Structure 1
Amino acid sequence: MSVIAEYNIETQHYYGVVADEIDLCESDGSARIPMILKRLTGYGRSRFVEYMGWKLQGPLIILTCNEDMIPSNPVGYLLFDTFLTRFQDGPLTVVARLGEIFYRDEVAEASQNTTFVIHPLINVRRILPLGKKGKLIHAHPDFWLLSVYHSGYQSLMKHFKQSYKQRFCPLDVNYSSNDIEVETVEYDTKVSLNATNKPLSFTKHACKLKGHSLEKGISIRMLIYADKLIASDINLLFGLDVTLVQPINGELDRRDALDVVTNTFF
């Protein structure tokens, strides 16, 4: 088995379809058009990407960006051995050579220098310069770049030039419906949900506070954590507090409104 084959998505991941995002992503991937996915964290970005990796039947290489990343991180770097110096391909170089899916997560947190390294790869040239080797790599015909960022970071995307933004096909996925949230939580927790499910009921009440005491909504990820914890027979109010209240409002004075919700309804 080749090294890249280890990154094949062998198991189908559950994903609840919101709109036509699967059809668009599948068509975009087949045409190898660079895509940027915008979605709030905790609402199935990674789940969607892994599902598409399985559906498109290609290895999926993931690179999580951060502000400390330098251009050589995705491209490659020199390794100094005792008797020689050799170039070690970075993840972007490996995927460009072999032609698979390269998934950049949290792209808005990367510096401009790191982001612009991919410019020649996502236009008609489809090349990757290796400055430290003095070579050019022509991307494999099956190379596809998929970038993802937290849609709450719109302000961070403003420092990107229009010429950069226009290289991508955008996919803005909205919130899942309640039915999809229920199906996702049931699939991950193996707990059957109904109208009396405590975390689900709490979420519906808490959403009314968004924009007041609550800055962000309660994500599917948090619901999964809550149901798993409560299923282990932990105290209900304590379980709701540590999984749904504290993560979104760490300051004591801002958790009062949510505490009222828990004490009133549960």
Structure 2
Amino acid sequence: MISLIESEKIKRNKRIYDAKDEALIQEGGYVSPISTLWDDILVGIVLKKPVLLKGPSGSGKTRLSQSISHFFNQPMHSVNCSVDLDAESLLGFKTIISKNGETHIEFVEGPVIEAMKKGHILYIDEINMAKPETLPILHSVLDHRRMMTNPFTGEVIHAHDDFTVIAAINEGYIGTSPMNEALKNRFLSYSIPYLSGEQLKELMEKLFPNAEQSLVQTMLNISADLQKQVMNGLLDEEAASIRSILDALSLSEHMPILRAVQYAIAEKLDDPIERSLVMELCETWVK
């Protein structure tokens, strides 16, 4: 019997997108740190529930979203939130154009409306960086109604059946604010932890097939130590970022490990004591 997820994948892969949309289909490659996490998130997607990915910077939230886009062969539009995000950034804007000697006002659709109409994935990155008063405009898009009235044109827009919303959040970071309950309750929420152990080793070997095993093992040891110190409260979460560890491994193929870790991890930290601790941990593994 075909599974719910595979059935939806087959259906969505039968959709025909034009050449412009094909460029929006993201590559896969996400490795799940929990065996059930990938399938559990896909179930939420198939059931047309907005999905909220919670986790520290570098835990793979964006890569996970890209992998969902690749899995369903479904284009993805990204919105990067900040305090400057406004309705026009989400929905689009009016502009004046000249056609056949006449001047017209035309509405240029933004990522939310384009994704709704075409049945694409809308990825909202760092959603808690946006001002709380900006996001209520999406409430009717995110709940059972899956529609909205464009405030700039008056058009009533009903979402395409394949329309999907994925949001990502870094909790407790500077510049973020707690999501209000009305917005948060519209999402299914999944915690995305860092990769470690054999899964991280598998990812490293896949991305860097020519790296020496001793180098991979050293980076795994450094990563485990960094994650332990983050859990002990001695290092900021950014120090254990998988993205940064992979950057360090990439550099280490061309320079000494200590310098690679310094550039990819330590120098990103604001606290000089934390920078020193990272380098001390690294030195214990570098012969």
Q: TM-score by structure 2 length?
A: 0.82
**Partner of residue 7 from structure 1, selected from 6, 18, 24:** 24
Cα distance, 1:121–1:259 mapped onto 2, change above 3 Å: closer
CA drift of 1:255 comes to 2.7
Query: Does residue 189 of structure 2 align to residue 167 of structure 1?
Result: no
SS in 1 for 2:23: helix
Say if 1:226 and 1:243, in contact at 8 Å, map to a contact too: yes
Say if 1:79 and 1:85, in contact at 8 Å, map to a contact too: yes
Query: Does residue 55 of structure 2 align to residue 39 of structure 1?
Result: yes
CA drift of 1:52 comes to 1.4
2:107 aligned partner: 87
Cα distance, 1:12–1:36 mapped onto 2, change above 3 Å: closer
Q: CA RMSD in A?
A: 2.4
2:3 aligned partner: none
CA drift of 1:167 comes to 1.0
Query: For the residues of structure 2 that align with 1:226 and 1:149, how far apart are their CA atoms?
Result: 24
Identity over aligned residues, as a percent?
Answer: 20
Query: Does residue 247 of structure 2 align to residue 231 of structure 1?
Result: no
Cα distance, 1:122–1:204 mapped onto 2, change above 3 Å: closer
Query: For the residues of structure 2 that align with 1:139 and 1:193, how far apart are their CA atoms?
Result: 49
Query: For the residues of structure 1 that align with 2:246 and 2:263, how far apart are their CA atoms?
Result: 13
1:48 aligned partner: 64
Deviations 1:206-230 (A, max 9, x none): 4443345422242211111111111
Query: For the residues of structure 1 that align with 2:236 and 2:166, how far apart are their CA atoms?
Result: 29
Say if 1:106 and 1:149, in contact at 8 Å, map to a contact too: yes
Deviations 1:193-246 (A, max 9, x none): 4587333323333444334542224221111111111111x1332222222322
Cα distance, 1:196–1:87 mapped onto 2, change above 3 Å: closer
What does residue range 132-171 of structure 1 map to in structure 2 within 5 Å?
Answer: 132-153=152-173, 156-158=176-178, 160-171=179-190
Query: For the residues of structure 2 that align with 1:81 and 1:102, how far apart are their CA atoms?
Result: 28
CA drift of 1:253 comes to 4.1
**Partner of residue 124 from structure 1, selected from 131, 135, 144:** 144
- Further displaced range: 95-104 or 121-130: 121-130
Query: For the residues of structure 1 that align with 2:226 and 2:46, how far apart are their CA atoms?
Result: 41
SS in 2 for 1:102: strand
Cα distance, 1:221–1:236 mapped onto 2, change above 3 Å: same
Query: For the residues of structure 1 that align with 2:80 and 2:137, how far apart are their CA atoms?
Result: 15
Structure 2: state its 5+ residue gaps.
1-17
CA drift of 1:166 comes to 1.2
Structure 1: state its 5+ residue gaps.
none
Aligned length: 262
**Partner of residue 204 from structure 2, selected from 185, 210, 214:** 185
